[in-house]
């Protein structure tokens, strides 16, 4: 395993020495499209599964949303395994020179290896989840043990898709390598999409702490400060688009909200009691966070301060404070009033903003369905003290993101 970890990072100048045959074949391989498609299937299936639980309740190993998720795992696993096996058994394979050795037997792209391990983990979680439901009943939270195994598999597979795209992007952008501009632009957008899909999974796992009725509590912003800056800033440092952070945040928002906009028009009735809210159509998921606004602020700061030597000593720590602090404060200034709008305004209770959403097993007459619970409102002193801590969390998160982004800029295998 050590060789698989130590081998993927090589200098850009080393990539120039690759055979001329490989440099002449600068097209996006089919398996790259396959793993991005698989990642999309997984995200759509997962969102559908959440809305299935909210609207129908009845679950099973072969429920339609689960099948979509399994299709994603199988597609990514098969295409990536073929890529690895073809490089392993064909010493004349054009990609063999840049392949990563694994266990001294297998050779293949690092991203493909992540995809295979992620797919196997996901498929292993399926019977575990079925047993869990049969033994303990329906889930009351997202991160049950089988769902945790599934989440690890999903994120490993999606990270593999990102690494596969990164390796191509970095090789094609290196000195002496001239790629077709159309192919290079398509590659960058595929990387942006793959990043947005992984961000959607990260958000979904944290969504229980980011509900609209929690948007006036400091814990909401502390959670955002921990999980978002490191990911967005890492992608911003490695993705070669003009507005990388904004692009990924916008793609994430679209991927998250479009399934809800569509599925709410399809019929669905609960199949499991107690039915407290007798719905007749699918209940949508939450409206996305307005991440695109703080993402734009981060992009603007990165344009200004990302140059080498721009901030002198401890430059990356200063960048982390700038990027993380700006993200948190702009997110607070944007999401606090917007969260109040989603939680309390009648204008948000429609098919666009989705605040009418209410699961079938929740009482629709609950007094705090469209207002904040007074018992959960924090004193302003406590709120702002915790926001100060959240700025620290965002700074540390951004610093990790800068390190991760620097690593991703060097991945070429």
Cα–Cα distances (Å) from 284 to 21, 104, 124, 335, in that order, read 50, 48, 28, 20
Same domain, 66 and 148: yes
Task: Let me know whether 163 and 307 are in one domain.
Answer: no
| Residue 22: its H or E element | helix 20-24
Q: What is the pLDDT of residue 198?
A: 94
Nearest CA to 231 out of 155, 344, 122 is that of 155
What pLDDT sits at residue 17?
A: 41
Whether 248 maps to a domain, the answer reads no
Tell me how far CA of residue 36 lies from CA of 40, 173, 255, 298, in angstroms: 6, 21, 13, 26
pLDDT of residue 411: 75
Same domain, 76 and 224: no
Q: Are residues 85 and 173 in the same domain?
A: yes
Q: Are residues 293 and 179 in the same domain?
A: no
pLDDT at 140: 53
Q: Is 136 found in the same domain as 102? A: yes
- Residue closest to 334 by CA, chosen among 378, 293, 287: 293
Q: Looking at residue 20, what is its pLDDT? A: 40
The domain tally of the chain equals 2
In DSSP terms, 267 is beta-bridged to: 281
> Are 412 and 332 found together in one domain?
yes
Give the residue among 331, 301, 303 at the shortest CA–CA distance from 318: 301
Q: What is the pLDDT of residue 6?
A: 41
Q: Dihedral (C-alpha) 48, 66, 151, 139: value to the nearest 10 degrees?
A: 80
Domain range for 285 is 216-242+260-413
Same domain, 191 and 231: no
Within a domain: 93: yes
Q: Which helix (H) or strand (E) holds 242?
A: none
Instruction: Answer for the pair 184, 141: CB distance below 8 angstroms, yes or no.
Output: no
Q: Are 234 and 184 members of one domain?
A: no
Task: Identify the H or E element spanning 107.
Answer: strand 106-108
- pLDDT at residue number 141: 59
| Residues in the chain, total | 413
Residues 223 and 177 in one domain: no
138 lies in some domain: yes
pLDDT at residue 172 in the model: 75
User: Do 146 and 231 share a domain, yes or no?
Assistant: no
Position 316 scores a pLDDT of 86
Q: Do 166 and 304 belong together in one domain?
A: no
Average pLDDT for consecutive 10-residue bins of the chain (413 residues)? 40 40 62 93 94 86 88 93 84 68 75 89 79 63 72 90 86 62 84 94 92 94 96 90 94 96 95 89 95 96 78 82 96 97 96 95 93 91 96 96 88 73
């Amino acid at each position: 395993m050590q060789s698989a970890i130590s081998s993927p990072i090589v200098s850009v100048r080393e990539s120039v020495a690759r055979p001329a045959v490989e440099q002449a074949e600068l097209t996006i391989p089919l398996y790259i499209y396959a793993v991005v498609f698989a990642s999309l299937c997984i995200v759509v299936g997962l969102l559908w599964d959440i809305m299935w639980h909210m609207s129908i309740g009845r679950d099973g190993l072969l429920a339609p949303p689960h099948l979509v998720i399994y299709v994603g795992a199988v597609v990514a696993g098969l295409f990536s395994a073929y890529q690895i096996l073809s490089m392993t058994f064909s010493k004349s394979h054009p990609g063999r020179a840049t392949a990563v050795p694994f266990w001294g037997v297998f050779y293949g792209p690092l991203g493909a290896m992540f995809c295979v391990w992620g797919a196997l983990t996901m498929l292993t979680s399926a019977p575990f989840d079925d047993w869990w439901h049969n033994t303990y009943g329906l889930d009351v939270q997202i991160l049950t043990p089988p769902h945790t195994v599934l989440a690890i598999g999903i994120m490993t597979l999606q990270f593999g898709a990102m690494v596969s795209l990164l390796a191509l992007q970095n090789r094609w952008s290196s000195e002496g390598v001239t790629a077709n501009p159309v192919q290079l632009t398509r590659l960058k957008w595929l990387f942006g999409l793959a990043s947005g899909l992984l961000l959607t999974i990260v958000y979904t796992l944290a969504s229980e702490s980011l509900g609209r009725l929690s948007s006036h509590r400091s814990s909401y912003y502390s959670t955002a400060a921990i999980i978002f800056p490191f990911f967005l800033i890492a992608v911003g440092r490695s993705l070669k688009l003009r507005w990388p952070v904004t692009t990924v945040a916008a793609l994430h928002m679209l991927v998250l909200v479009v399934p809800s906009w569509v599925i709410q028009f399809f019929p669905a009735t609960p199949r499991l009691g107690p039915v407290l809210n007798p719905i007749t159509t699918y209940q949508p998921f939450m409206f996305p966070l307005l991440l695109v606004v703080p993402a734009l602020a981060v992009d603007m700061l990165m344009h200004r301060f990302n140059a080498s030597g721009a901030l002198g000593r401890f430059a990356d720590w200063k960048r982390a404070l700038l990027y993380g602090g700006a993200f948190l404060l702009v997110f607070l200034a944007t999401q606090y009033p917007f969260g109040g709008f989603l939680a309390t305004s009648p204008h948000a209770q429609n098919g666009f903003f989705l605040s009418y959403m209410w699961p079938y097993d929740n009482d629709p007459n609950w007094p705090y369905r469209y207002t904040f619970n007074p018992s959960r409102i924090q004193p302003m002193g406590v709120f702002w003290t915790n926001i100060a801590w959240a700025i620290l969390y965002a700074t540390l998160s951004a610093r990790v993101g800068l390190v991760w982004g620097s690593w991703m800029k060097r991945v070429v295998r």
